[in-house]
Amino acid sequence: MAESQHRIVDVGPGKPEPMITPDTQPYWDAAARGVLSVQRCQRCLTAYFYPRPICPQCGGAEVDWITASGRATLLSYVISHRPAAGFTPPFVIAVVRLEEGPQMMTNIVGIAPDPENLELDMPLIVEFEKRGTACVPVFRPAEPAS
């Protein structure tokens, strides 16, 4: 497995799945291979997320897909006690910042949903939940560097 490929955990159907559009197809195709992919402007080199055809920094229309490292830090979160299809409350809804710069919503997995386990700015690593047809990126605390 290449370094940029990450673990895929089959959680089965039940949790919400995205309705994929042509603009977002490459992102979800990469996710299905365990790869986190974001776009980058060829002109100003800004990496950005969510997928869209125009660079939000400079307006450039020439954009690439790049493979993100999967490393991120925890920007903020809530521990939701609200019912949600496929989820067992309480669970963590977070916004994380990718090493490449963009931020995204995700779930934090691999820890009990307790503030003690969730320090802002903590390092995280991506993995993917296979939910029926789509693979959805989620994050777990990164292993300490050895």
Partner 1 sequence: MTAVIIGAAETDRVGVIPELSTMGLHLQAAANALADAGLTPADIDGVASIGTPGPVTIAHALGIKPLWLDGTYAGGASFLIHVRHAAAAIAAGYCHTVLITHGESGRSRVGPVPLVVEPWSVQGQFEVPYGVAGAATTFTVPALRFMKETGTTHEQLAQVAVVTRQWAQLNPRALRRDPITVDDVLASRMIAYPFHQLECCLVTDGGGALIVTSAERAADLPRRAPRVHLLGSGESSDGPVMSMMADLTRSRGFQLSSRAAFRQAGIGHRDVDHVMIYDAFAHVPLFGLEDMGFVGRGEAAGFVGDGHTAPGGSLPMNTNGGGLSYTHTGMYGMFAILESVRQLRGEAAAQVPDPRISVVLGNGGSFVVAGTLVLGTAEAAGY
> Sign of the C-alpha dihedral, residues 106, 112, 114, 117?
negative
Shorter beta-carbon distance to partner 1: residue 24 or 69: 24
> Contacts with partner 1 in 30-49 (CB under 8 A)?
none
Smallest separation, CB 146 to partner 1 (Å): 29
* CB contact at 8 A, 85 and 66: no
Compute the chain's Rg from CA coordinates. Answer: 15
Which member of 11, 32, 54, 93 binds partner 1 (CB under 8 A)? Answer: 93
Q: Is 53 left (phi over 0), alpha (psi -120 to 50) or beta?
A: alpha
Q: Report if residue 120 touches partner 1, rule: CB under 8 A.
A: yes
Q: Closer CB to partner 1, residue 7 or residue 52?
A: 52
Q: Which x/- pattern, by CB under 8 A, does the window 126-145 give for partner 1?
A: -----x--x-x-x-------
- Please state, in angstroms and as integers, the Cα–Cα distance from residue 15 to each residue in 1, 11, 88, 98, 130, following that order: 27, 9, 10, 24, 10
Give the binding range for partner 1 (CB under 8 A) out of 1-9, 11-19, 39-47, 63-71.
11-19
- Answer whether 24's CB lies under 8 Å from 143's CB: no
Residues constituting the chain = 146
**Residue from 30, 38, 72, 94 that binds partner 1 (CB under 8 A)?**
94
Among the listed residues 81, 112, 143, 144, the single contact to partner 1 using CB under 8 A: 81
Alpha carbon distance 90, 113 (integer Å): 7
Residues that bind partner 1 (CB under 8 A): 15-21, 24, 50, 75-87, 90-91, 93-95, 103-107, 115, 120, 131, 134, 136, 138
